[in-house]
Chains A and B, each alone.
Chain A
Amino acid sequence: MSILINKDTRVLVQGITGREGRFHAEQMQKYGTKIVAGVTPGKGGQEVLGVPVYDTVKEAVAQHAIDASIVFVPAAAAADAALESAHAGVPLVVLITEGIPTLDMVAAVKEIKELGVRLIGGNCPGLISAEESKLGIMPGHVFKKGRVGLISRSGTLTYEAAAALSDAGLGTTTTVGIGGDPIIGTTFKDLLPLFNEDPETEAVVVIGEIGGSDEEEAAAWVKEHMTKPVVGFIGGRSAPKGKRMGHAGAIIMGDVGTPESKLKAFAEADIPVADTIDEIVELVKQRLS
């Protein structure tokens, strides 16, 4: 079991003829992801990586059963591409693209939610159910099937944590990179209930970072509802105020987004916080024993 995607998930790739889209579509196929079609406006009728390409998502869904779409469209058109899939009835949209204008995301996130569609990202590495399916750009080989759900605002740090969990024999169920932007489709607190319900997930690791209040909101949910152990991590604890650390969302503005506020919220929800990646593994082991 896993959340959101599994080995049977049928996937559409938006931007499949572009350099990034094509490269990662191929990597996903190698991992075992069932890619059934691609979309690039103006390139309909071609075939890429053994799957047909359509001009519009509407045409693709008319020909194929599609459970999820992954978007590799350039930033200027990315929010529009996500909306296209949502309106065509694709229930899960994963938006990888980095650098999307914030107000585009404000409008798109609202509309996509109203359509009842789940959006992951943007500016995210995607998601992976270990040894089943990957809708993303992560190195698949570091994710071994196991017992821990992983949610993160970071990319590389997630791969490190997954590798450490795999090396320790714990492994992962599903890993979701929610993205480093201020406005994203799915936050920590949206995913915790899914992991709480998933029979194979025994514990959840939340890799947060400075900026915003997603971690505080997640902690509040955990305190009220979570029945499984949760282990936390906060990146950027030593970052100065007002400086943007790579991710557009990783910035302390005034009193919002400070590590102190996040650590306090985690402590109140009885979520132990790891100082290092190795400590994440130790804390998960402790909580599971």
Chain B
Amino acid sequence: MTVSTGGSANLGAYRVAERRERWLLQSLVVPGLALIGLIALAPIGWLFWMSVQGSSGFTLDHYQRLLDESYLRTLKTTFELSILVTVLSIALGYPLAYLISQARPRLAALLMLLVLFPVWTSLLVRCYAWLVLLQRRGVVNSWLQDMGIIDAPLKLMHNFTGTTIGMLHIMLPFMILPLYASMRSIDRDYMRAAANLGASPVRAFWQVFVPLSLPGLFAGIIIVFVLCLGFYVTPALLGGGRVYMWSMQIERNVTYYADWGAASALGVVLLALTLGILWAVGRLIGFDRIVGGK
């Protein structure tokens, strides 16, 4: 390369260097993409293919079998539990997120730390804690009996109740975090203005505060509901085999029956439901708002 020929050659060299650098920077994302693509996504494509393969080529039999009553019952349980846990996490999460958002910064930081503590605690530790608390002769039953509230121990685990409590405990922080993020950004002057204009505290809350907190609420609902749909560990432990979730059906088809056709069809349906919900809500309120609210 000759330097003496002046500006245009220099500019050309600069352009080449710039393009090369951009190319280099873009290539930084490749190793991670390769890892995720090869280890996580490619096998899912394979499962997709297996879900439409029978002994004699293409078939939809595996999907047709999902209409069996036993599968439909699993689907119903999964949805019931997911909806119940989502509703309960709103009922418990909204008031707490509201309180934290109104608290002084120091107190708010401390309370958020307490909300985050379970997230950082191992999932199995928390399931174990609930198993210990809820078992027949466990802490909850013995306290209730000592206080004379109940005569005989309640059946609190290895059923729907225990699974709901355990899942609620896991999911609640995922409701509180986006709620808190969106409530904190609400300008307090709005509430002051509402009060000045004669709104009662209750009315100001429902007509001003709640609508402004909706992005966070939606984000929380989606995160919690989608996580619930595919949840495996807590229902498997606290349900004790009596609460049958979609994910457990998948696991059983693989490990007990080695029935990959059914397992992958179940998996594809679960994935389609998950992505479908995310897509629909993303269209409805804008995906950036969900991610941003997180």
Do the two shown chains form a genuine complex with each other?
no
